[in-house]
Structure 1
Amino acid sequence: MSEPIRVLLAEDDELIREALAGLLEREEDIHLVATARDGREAIERAVLHRPAVAVIDLQMPKVDGLGVIGELARVLPECAGVILTGHGHPHVLRRALASGARGFLAKGAPGTALADVVRRVHEGKRYVDPVLAADALTLAPSPLTARETNVLATAQEDRPIRDVAQELFLSPGTVRNYLATINRKLGVDSRASAHRVARENGWV
C-alpha cells in the first residue's frame, strides 16, 4: 500500500476547521499532518511538516489564502495547493489559479468532495468547482477601456487625485474626467462604489 497523502489544513474558523479535519481523518489514504489558524501559521507549518497537499481557506488573518499559495509555490514547490472558499466569485477563481493553486473548491461542496480534490491534485491534476467554472465562462466583459481600468486601479477607493495624476502622468482634471466616466459606465455615484463593483466583477 502506498504512503498516505500528507495534508495541511488552514482555516481560521475553529468549527469549520475541526469539521474539515474530521472529514479528512476518515480517509485511510490521507494523513492530516498539521492544521493552522492563519496564513502565517500555515506557511510556517507547511515548511516544518512538508505536506504533499495544502488545503487553504481563501480569507484568513495575517496572510490570505492566495498569499499562502504563492509563498508555498516559492518555498515548497512540490506541495499542491487547494483553495477553499465560501465566496466563489469567478474572478477569485482566476486569481487562485494564477497564484499556482491546483484546486478550487467551495465550502458548500459535498463532504466527500474535499478528499476527492486532495487525491486529484496529488496526482498532478487540477480541480475547479464546476459551478464556479461555468460562472467564469459566462462572466460579463468589462465596460471600461484599458486606460479607464488603469486609472480606477491606481485611484482605488480613496487615493488622493493629485497622487493618482502624478503616478499616471496626467493632470488632476483628466483623472477626475476619467473617474466621472467610469462612474457613469458602472451606474454608480462614487469612486468607492465603482472600485467595489469593478473588483467584484474581476475587472481590476
Structure 2
Amino acid sequence: MCEVINIALLDDDSIFRQNLRNLLAHQDGICVVGTAENGADALLNLNFHKIDVVLIDVDMPVLDGVNTAKLLAKNYPELAIIMLTAFDHKESLSESLSTGVRGFLTKDIRGEQLATLIKQAHAGFQVLSPEPTRIMRKSYIERQRNIELYSGFADAIATLPRYLYPVFELLIKAKSNKEISKELHLSAATVRSYIAEIYSHTGINNRGELAVTAIKAGF
C-alpha cells in the first residue's frame, strides 16, 4: 500500500519516466501517482493538490522545466519541486533555485539515494546532487572575486584626480583619443598622458577591459 509521499514525474523521455517509476515503486513511503511528458500536459491533467513532490526534467518540449517550476511554485506553494537534469545546467540551476524549488538533481542518482532526497525535500530541506553543488560553489567563488575586483575598481575611481575624470567618462563611452581631445579641448599628447595615468591608477591597461570593468562596477 502506498503511503505518505505522493510523487509526480514530468519528463519527455517515456523510457526514463517508466524506469524511474519502477525504481521508486520499490522504495518505502513513496508512491508515483502521476506522470506527464511536459509542463503543459502536467498542468492540464495532474491534480497537484493531491501531490506532495514533483520531479521535473529541465529539458522538456512545449513548456520546459524551469517555467513549469515557476508556475507550480506560484500556484502550489506547499508543493516540493525537484529539478532533474542529465547535464550541467548552470543557468537553469540558478534560475530554478530562485523560484524556490527544493532540489536540483542529476539523473544518474541511485534509487535509494533519490528516495532519501525526496523525503528530505518533502520535509522542507534543500537537496542537491554533487555536480550542482560544485557549480554553486564555483559560482559563489566567482561572485566573491568579482565583488573584490569591482569594489577595488570603484575605490580607484573614487580617488581618481578630478582632472582625469572627464577623460575616464569618455573612455568608457568608447570615445577615441581624437574625440576626447576635441570634446575636452586638450592636445593629443595631453590626452595620451591622462589615459596613461588612468591606466596606472586603476591597474587596467586597455580601453576594452576598462569599459567592461566600469560597467560591471556600476559606472
Same fold (TM over 0.5): yes
Give per-residue Cα distances to partners, 1:38-96, cap 9 Å, x unaligned. 11112233435630000000011111111111111122111110000012233322111
Residue aligning to 1:59: 59
Give SS of 1:101's match: coil
Amino acid at match of 2:62: K
Q: Does the 8 Å contact 1:91/1:136 carry over to 2?
A: no
User: Greater helix share, 1 or 2?
Assistant: 2
CA distance in 2, matches of 1:69, 1:38: 11
Matched, 1:87 2:87: yes
Other-structure match for 2:9: 9
- Classify the secondary structure of the residue corresponding to 2:51: coil
Residues 85, 2 of structure 1: CA spacing in aligned structure 2 closer, same or farther, 3 A cutoff? Answer: closer
Corresponding letter in the other structure for 1:70: K
State percent identity of aligned pairs.
Answer: 31
Give the AA of the match of 1:113.
Q
Aligned to 2:21: 21
Cα separation, partners in 2 of 1:5 and 1:41, compared to 1, 3 Å? same
1:38–1:89 Cα change, 3 Å? closer
Within 2, Cα distance between the matches of 1:24 and 1:92?
A: 25
> Equivalents in 2 of 1:71, 1:131: separation in Å?
26
The total of aligned residue pairs comes to 153
| Structure 1 counterpart SS, 2:47 | helix
Distance 1:29 1:122 in 2: 12
In the TM superposition, what is the alpha-carbon distance from 1:124 to its structure 2 partner? 0.9
Letter in 2 for 1:89: H
Corresponding residue number in structure 1 for 2:110: 110
TM-score (norm 2): 0.61
Residue in structure 1 matched with residue 41 of structure 2 by the alignment: 41
Question: Contact 2:48 / 2:76 at 8 angstroms: preserved in 1?
Answer: no
CA RMSD of aligned residues (A): 3.0
Letter of the 1:51 counterpart: I
Instruction: Quote the Cα distance in structure 2 between the aligned partners of 1:61 and 1:91.
Output: 18
Distance between the aligned counterparts of 2:2 and 2:10, measured in 1? Answer: 25
Structure 2 residue aligned with 1:127: 127
Aligned partners of 2:85 and 2:105 also within 8 Å? yes
Structure 1 distance, partners of 2:41, 2:49, is 12
- d(CA) in 2 for partners of 1:102, 1:14: 24
The runs of 4+ residues in structure 1 deviating greater than 3 Å are 45-49, 139-143
What is the letter of the counterpart of residue 36 of structure 2? A
Per-residue Cα deviation, 1:14-37 (whole angstroms, up to 9, x for no partner) = 111111111111123111110001
CA distance in 1, matches of 2:68, 2:47: 12
Q: Which amino acid aligns with 1:88?
A: D
SS in structure 2 opposite 1:112?
Answer: helix
